[in-house]
Amino acid sequence: MRKNDIKRIFSLMIALLILSSCDSMNQINDRGRINIQSLSDIDQAIQDMTLEEKAGQLIQAERSSISISDITKYNIGSILSGGGSTPNPNTPEAWVSMINQMNVAALQSSSGIPIIYGVDAVHGNNNVKNATIFPHNIGLGAANDPELMKAIGIATAKEMLAVGVDWNFAPAVSSAQDIRWGRTYESYSENIQRVASLVVPYIEGQLSEGILTTTKHFIGDGYTTFLTGEDDNLIDRGDVTMTKEQMLDGNLSAYIAAIGANTSAIMASFNSVNGVKVHGDKSLLTDLLRDELQFKGLVVSDWEAIHKIAPTLNEQVALAINSGVDLLMEPYKWKDTYNAIIYNVNNGNISQERLDEAVKRNLVLKFEAGLFEDGLLKEAGIVGTQESKKIAREAVSKSLVLLKNENILPLEKNVKIYLIGPASDNVGIQCGGWTFSWQGEMDPNLNNGISLKDALNTVLSSNGGELVSNPNDADLIVLAIGEKPYAEMHGDTDDLSLDGPLSLTDNIKAVELAQTFNKPILTIMIAGRPLLISDYLDHWDAFVMAWLPGTEGNGITDVLFGDKPFQGTLPFTWPLTNEQASDSMNMDNYNKIEHQFKYGDGLTY
């Protein structure tokens, strides 16, 4: 008997157990009719489905807002975890049992089609306790290492499989053109070529482990104009005001690369282009994406994004589906959305043909995830493995960018360091947003990760060095400054200075104090984007940008002490002033303007 057969029989036995413990055995006989053994069965399956069953397949609800019995009743197609939405306890076993229970419920629906479960594993499987937290994309853009991206794609996929999820809402190929945007750290680079070359191996890595990918957010993400943000946002979910041609010129190559790498899905973007919201723009979601770019996979809407495209929910649903959305991420209003689909099909606002096309893309996605074969019931695995931590540590080392070094680095391991600054001992700050909650957490010991201080301590204490408590005893000062955790619109700012609203409260205090000791200063910045430093840089003997490195802080010390070389280069232009924050949009003037640092800068040893 093959291992897979044993697994399948074991899974079925568990299914029977779960069913018999929570429901009458009768319901197994009621198991839904649809059975898909090969891709060629899908068309027949669609013919056999009722309108209600089809409507359910186009719905993606949030785990906390749907009951198990409603999954059965409404033939729900997909469930997601929003940022930080986890079962309790937050263990692989609890995740797997939650998803298995949902799938048993789906099996009992009239169609019997399994659900597909999606999460934002955007820097490791970042909702799950003890999972390895990798650097955010901006740091990986600095590392600019395709092989590393593949390894991270694989390692993240393994930590996703360990909790039974099938589908990732990653990678983002947004390319922030104005770093005042709160999603800058989710972008690999302002340079779309760099983005395109990194996204391919990441997708390949995820797919090779059987995790489906979502390239997001299509299209114009990162290109919106300052002060056009939706609601009161400065820039997030705003409008792209450059011409469509200019926007495509900047954006398209990343999508061409991702489609070439077989990304399973693409997520539509919250933003508008010249005043038209992408979620309601057929010329982008169908004419461009399907007809020109030949994308064959599924288009999912973003979180409640359709609500902004038309006055009533019925109109929103019709417009989104007719524009090209195949699955509606409706975390809370999923039932009204389900009813709206049925209403629109009955009224001819959505054609049978378009409905069937969308259903088909959902079934193909599930087929590709192996859900009809042996994937129905999952088994729990391990997160935070030594193997993935090793890759994360390497990613941290490779992501660091050395921007100034006047005979300070590499450090001797027996050196005496006086460490100060608000980012010196805080794993929550190192991880940033999208870590155990949507906005991230200021928790110093988050996930039992390794802070900069922990990492320095480990090296110094075993080599005759020391973290001293009196600056007079120190050979040098290490000053760690940065930004608070944030996500999406909450990270929008008009002030990137060290005492701006999203900067750490004690940055300036620490910077000024460091200058009073008359010792060499090594400054390390832990932030989701470049902050303004022109007033201080002259006082620093060395300066390192560490981005948002995540839990493996020992990747920083590997480089500081010279065990590994510096090899990161700036994926973004470093502005001198707030006004320069959107400078990558002004390529014509780029070389005439004096920036703090240029795109691509980075010293080495």
Residues near ligand BGC (CB under 6 A): 82-84, 120, 169, 216, 302-303, 438, 488
Q: Contact 318/341 with Cβ under 8 angstroms? A: no
Of 60 and 569, CB closest to ligand BGC: 60
Q: 460: how many CB neighbours lie within 10 A of its CB?
A: 22
Of 84 and 384, CB closest to ligand BGC: 84
**In angstroms, how far is the first alpha carbon of the chain from the final one?**
55
Of 215 and 567, CB closest to ligand BGC: 215
CA distance 588 to 597: 17
- Helix (H) or strand (E) segment spanning residue 117: strand 116-119
Q: Contact 169/216 with Cβ under 8 angstroms? A: yes
Of 483 and 488, CB closest to ligand BGC: 488
Of 218 and 438, CB closest to ligand BGC: 438
Q: Active site residue: 302, 394, 466, 583, which one?
A: 302
Residue 348 contacts by C-beta under 8 Å, 6 or more apart in sequence?
A: none
Look up residue 218 and give its DSSP letter.
E
Of 488 and 552, CB closest to ligand BGC: 488
Q: Active site residue: 425, 466, 488, 583, which one?
A: 488
Of 375 and 440, CB closest to ligand BGC: 440
Q: 509: how many CB neighbours lie within 10 A of its CB?
A: 14
Of 105 and 487, CB closest to ligand BGC: 487
| Token pair listed for 537 | 């840089």
Residues facing residue 524 across a β-bridge: 480, 544
Is residue 302 part of the annotated active site? The answer reads yes
CA distance 152 to 557: 20
Of 117 and 418, CB closest to ligand BGC: 117
Q: 11: how many CB neighbours lie within 10 A of its CB?
A: 17
Number of DSSP helices (H) and strands (E) in the chain, helices first: 19, 17
Q: Contact 477/522 with Cβ under 8 angstroms? A: yes
Q: Contact 486/440 with Cβ under 8 angstroms? A: yes
Residue 436 contacts by C-beta under 8 Å, 6 or more apart in sequence?
A: 84, 126, 127, 129, 446, 447
For residue 83, the minimal CB distance to ligand BGC (Å) is 4
| Token pair listed for 67 | 């009951």
- Rounded to 5 degrees, φ, ψ at 192 are -65, -25
Q: Contact 126/120 with Cβ under 8 angstroms? A: yes
| Token pair listed for 238 | 């705003």
Range list of β-strands (E), 172-307: 214-218, 239-240, 265-268, 272-273, 276-277, 298-300
CA distance 144 to 441: 27
Residue type (1 letter), 363: L
Residue type (1 letter), 168: N
CA distance 418 to 7: 55
Q: What Å distances lie between residue 580 and 133, 572, 583, CA to CA?
A: 31, 12, 5
On the 0-12 / 13-18 / 19+ scale of CB atoms within 10 A, 587 is exposed
Which residues are identified as catalytic?
302, 488
